[in-house]
Amino acid sequence: MTDLSGLNVLIVDAAYSEACDLRTTLLLAGANVHVVGKTAALILARQKRIDAAFIPLSLEEEKCRLREQLTELGVGRIIMQPGSAEWTEKAA
């Protein structure tokens, strides 16, 4: 397993089961993980170094703006999650 020791990772607006599984995997790899909503994600990104953020895949203006804001705040990697509950409901 990859060593993520010391990395700060956000999981933003994920479905509960997805967030739990992803959080567990990241914690086992040594990352510091925060499961948060959109507002808290922006607050944390302003207060500390965030190395990566997992956010739901969405073309909604609000989610696009969140990706832009996190990038502007220096988040190193933004990983899109195509399996989020929101995406699955809209695709059905």
Full set of structural domains in the chain with CATH: 8-91 (3.40.50)
| Rounded Cα–Cα distance for residues 84 and 16 (Å) | 10
Give me the percent of the chain exceeding a pLDDT of 90: 62
Q: Are 21 and 91 in contact (CB under 8 A)?
A: no
Task: Give me the chain's average pLDDT, please.
Answer: 86
pLDDT band at 56 (very low <50, low <70, confident <90, very high): confident
Q: pTM of the full predicted structure? A: 0.82
pLDDT at 5: 96
